[in-house]
Amino acid sequence: MPYLRPRPITVRELEALAKETGRHSIGDGLILNVAPSGRAKSWTCRIRVPSGRRRDLGLGAYPEVTLAEARERAAQYRRMVRDGLDPIEEKRKARRRAFTFRMAAEQCWEERKGAFKNGKHVDQWINTLRAYAYPTLGEISIADVHHSDVKAALQPIWLEKKETARRTLQRICDVARWAVGEGLRDAELPRDVIRSALGRQKKKVRHFPAVPIEEAPRVYGELKKKGTRAAEALRFQILTALRPGIGRAARWDEMDLENGLWSIPAQRMKTDEPHVVPLPEGAIDILKIVKAIPLPDEEDADFVFPSPMKPAKSAISDTSLKKVQDEFIDGATLHGWRSTFEDWAAEHTNFEAAVIDAAMAHALENEVKAAYQRTLFLDQRLDLMQQWDDFLEGRTKVRHGLDAAYRARMRAAAGVQQASPE
């Protein structure tokens, strides 16, 4: 039962109570809390909500909130209870209604952007939402965003900008999932339902333009003759068959030259798994030469191939590698060398697909198989990478079969021409 005072408390009596630490009942469920230090003082209202639970509601600090104001706020809460409402639940609902999709997306991005490995992807994540989601969803309460709203936001770009639309949908669903975790929303958005409502996108597989197998030794030889740091970095990437961002950003503390192993930590890999590369002779030679004959400002660099402009802070750029490659062949991307390697390994070697996938750091799609497969195939992969090295160096030849003839025909039809060195 609420404490009933024989008469209303006076201001002077209240001031006297405020000098004593503890919880002081003022009457009608109103409580003045004085901290042990005697400095922090606040109002609390004790009520019993319709469910029967007793709740203590904060009304603000004393004396900033006067006795009269505290009584009025307590009376408002009691009126809500009389109407069958839980004041705490109503405050939570009000907060949810005030939290828009835009606010949720920006806060979600702030919290997760530190986990991105690529700085460009940090901006892309939020920029796609700002461009394609905010115009429709931005001012809707995150609690009220419905899958029909998401469909309306993405409909204009779903068939015109397919990949962008799919990524934006994923990010919208990520924001909704974050909001569920924050108590701002009751359920995630049904991504599959939204995709189905938007309609089927006709997918066109995008292949990275690659150096043809038959041209690979010539281009590699030209890079070797070039001998610049960018050319050496590109040769190292080609020999290891990894993604450009991994190869050019190799670090000295990842190298075990004595055993010919390159151990890459999980945070630098797309698969979020550590990866070990058995290095062929050509890659080891590159590392030994770079270490023995460093360029100016490279002596103390952590990167094997540091940026000429900021050797202590960053690795050599993709632009530098692409520029030197373009001197010897047109149209091929840096990433395309992985396609060249995969085609060569499939057509001209007898290694199992699992060994080739392991060499390229492909993630296994079969989760059960991935859970049980523990072997790294290091010895077999070393044989594979050495054969790749031998092929690029011209020590072995490949048979120009039907696959090569077909590729040449397709290049001719597309009007692709190779660049000739001057």
**pLDDT > 80? residue 135:** yes
Residues composing the chain: 422
Sign of CA dihedral 322, 323, 324, 327: positive
* Sole residue written with tokens 């606010």: 103
Q: What pLDDT, on the 0 to 100 scale, is given for residue 309? A: 85
Over range 220-233, report the average pLDDT.
93
Looking at CATH, the fold of the domain delimited by 213-414 is given as hpI Integrase; Chain A (1.10.443)
Q: What pLDDT, on the 0 to 100 scale, is given for residue 33? A: 85
Tell me the pLDDT band of 252, cut-offs 50, 70 and 90: very high
Tell me the pLDDT band of 231, cut-offs 50, 70 and 90: very high
pLDDT digits (tens, 9 = 90+) for 281-297: 999 999 999 888 887 77
Q: What pLDDT, on the 0 to 100 scale, is given for residue 374? A: 47
How do the domains of the chain map onto residue ranges? 11-97, 101-198, 213-414
Token representation of residue 361: 């750091």
Tell me the pLDDT band of 245, cut-offs 50, 70 and 90: confident
**pLDDT > 80? residue 5:** no
d(CA 198, CA 192): 10
3-class DSSP state for residue 281?
A: helix
Q: Write down the mean pLDDT value for the chain.
A: 83
DSSP string over 189-252:
--HHHHHHHH------PPPPP---GGGHHHHHHHHHHH--HHHHHHHHHHHHT--HHHHTT-BG
User: Alpha carbon 16 to chain centroid distance?
Assistant: 58
Over range 237-263, report the average pLDDT.
92
Q: What pLDDT, on the 0 to 100 scale, is given for residue 362? A: 80
pLDDT digits (tens, 9 = 90+) for 346-375: 888 999 988 999 998 886 544 434 443 446
pLDDT digits (tens, 9 = 90+) for 46-64: 777 777 777 777 788 888 8
**pLDDT > 60? residue 205:** no
Tell me the pLDDT band of 261, cut-offs 50, 70 and 90: very high
- Among residues of the chain, what percentage have pLDDT more than 90? 38
Looking at CATH, the fold of the domain delimited by 101-198 is given as DNA polymerase; domain 1 (1.10.150)
Q: What pLDDT, on the 0 to 100 scale, is given for residue 286? A: 94
**pLDDT > 80? residue 299:** no
Identify which of 14-23, 79-88, 254-263, 399-408 has the greatest average pLDDT: 254-263
pLDDT digits (tens, 9 = 90+) for 15-33: 787 788 888 887 777 888 8
**pLDDT > 60? residue 203:** no
- Among residues of the chain, what percentage have pLDDT more than 70? 85
Task: Specify the CATH number for 11-97; select among 3.30.160.390, 3.30.300.30, 3.10.150.10, 3.40.50.2300.
Answer: 3.30.160.390
Q: What pLDDT, on the 0 to 100 scale, is given for residue 1? A: 42
**pLDDT > 60? residue 240:** yes
pLDDT digits (tens, 9 = 90+) for 94-104: 676 778 999 99
Q: What pLDDT, on the 0 to 100 scale, is given for residue 331? A: 81
**3-state SS track over 78-146:** HHHHHCCCCHHHHHHHHHHHHCEHHHHHHHHHHHHHHHCCCHHHHHHHHHHHHHHHHHHHCCCECCCCC
Q: What pLDDT, on the 0 to 100 scale, is given for residue 406? A: 65
Q: Quick one: CA torsion of 165, 169, 171, 173, rounded to 10 degrees? A: 180
**pLDDT > 90? residue 382:** yes
Q: What pLDDT, on the 0 to 100 scale, is given for residue 97? A: 72
d(CA 188, CA 84): 29
pLDDT digits (tens, 9 = 90+) for 386-420: 999 999 999 987 666 666 566 566 656 655 444 33
Over range 123-150, report the average pLDDT.
92
In this prediction the pTM is 0.53
